[in-house]
């Protein structure tokens, strides 16, 4: 019986470390996009950048971010294999996550700004930006809940931008900058929540 208990304790510690690694992966995902967004704001804040810059920056940023998170994901999979746990996401789940972001882009950067929900063009763009983030992250959260487990750490990343939409509508100046800070706040809280969950898993 003593050996069984010791084996159970070892397995629980191993499982705790794997869960912690998964939480750290989630934190890195939000952290890398937070860095991408803040770097963008740092550039446009000090230089008069033409709109064509966006056509270069965001595709390059997407490739770099996905390359980084992809390498981390492979390491997480290797850790899972070592511990005897398969770390995978279903093909259908991956497709739905991609559709979540594609739909969010269409709504947030196309449909909503053209509806002019804000007091001016900048306010409308801010509403679209916040709607894009809130919808895409919320839809992704639902996919995780359906095909994996509920990731409560993600909630601030879509809830905070969503609460800012009514305020952004009425902002006559600085709406886009404010929206960016609001999204940054939501992502930062998601990172902190993931790291906290990782520590809790390690202490198991």
Residue among 204, 202, 131, 191 nearest 155 (CA): 191
Q: What is the pLDDT of residues 6-38, one digit of tens each?
A: 545 544 565 667 788 888 888 999 999 999 988
Q: What is the pLDDT of residues 118-137, one digit of tens each?
A: 999 999 999 999 999 999 99
Torsion of CA 58, 194, 139, 43, to 10 degrees: -20
pLDDT, averaged across the chain: 84
* Number of alpha carbons in the 13 Å side-chain half-sphere of residue 159: 8
Listed range (66-75, 98-107, 166-175) with the worst mean pLDDT: 66-75
**Choice between 109 and 171, residue whose per-residue pLDDT is larger:** 171
* Number of alpha carbons in the 13 Å side-chain half-sphere of residue 100: 19
Packing angle, helices 121-147 and 155-169, rounded to 10: 160
Q: What is the pLDDT of residues 155-179, one digit of tens each?
A: 999 999 999 999 999 999 999 889 9
Structural domain boundaries enclosing 111: 2-202
pLDDT score, position 182: 95
User: CB–CB of 17/202 below 8 Å?
Assistant: yes
- Secondary structure letter of residue 203 according to DSSP: T
pLDDT score, position 50: 80
Residue among 86, 96, 105, 87 nearest 25 (CA): 87
- Quote the number of domains for the chain: 1
Q: What is the pLDDT of residues 46-61, one digit of tens each?
A: 877 786 787 788 888 8
pLDDT score, position 141: 93
């Amino acid at each position: 019986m003593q050996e069984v208990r010791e084996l159970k304790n070892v397995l629980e510690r191993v499982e705790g470390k794997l869960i912690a690694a998964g939480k750290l992966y989630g934190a890195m995902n939000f952290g890398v996009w937070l860095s991408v967004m803040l770097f963008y704001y740092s550039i446009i804040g000090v230089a008069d950048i033409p709109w064509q810059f966006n056509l270069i920056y965001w595709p390059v940023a997407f490739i770099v971010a996905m390359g980084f998170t992809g390498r981390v994901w492979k390491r997480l999979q290797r850790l899972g294999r070592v511990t005897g746990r398969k770390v995978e996401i279903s093909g259908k789940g991956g497709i739905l996550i991609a559709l979540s972001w594609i739909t969010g882009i269409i709504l947030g950067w196309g449909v909503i700004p053209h509806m002019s929900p804000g007091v001016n063009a900048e306010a409308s763009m801010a509403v679209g930006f916040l709607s894009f983030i809130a919808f895409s992250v919320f839809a992704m959260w639902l996919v995780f809940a359906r095909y994996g487990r509920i990731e409560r750490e993600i909630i601030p990343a879509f809830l905070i931008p969503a609460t800012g939409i009514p305020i952004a509508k009425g902002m006559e100046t600085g709406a886009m900058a404010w929206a960016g800070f609001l999204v940054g706040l939501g992502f930062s809280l998601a990172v902190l929540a993931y790291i906290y969950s990782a520590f809790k898993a390690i202490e198991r």
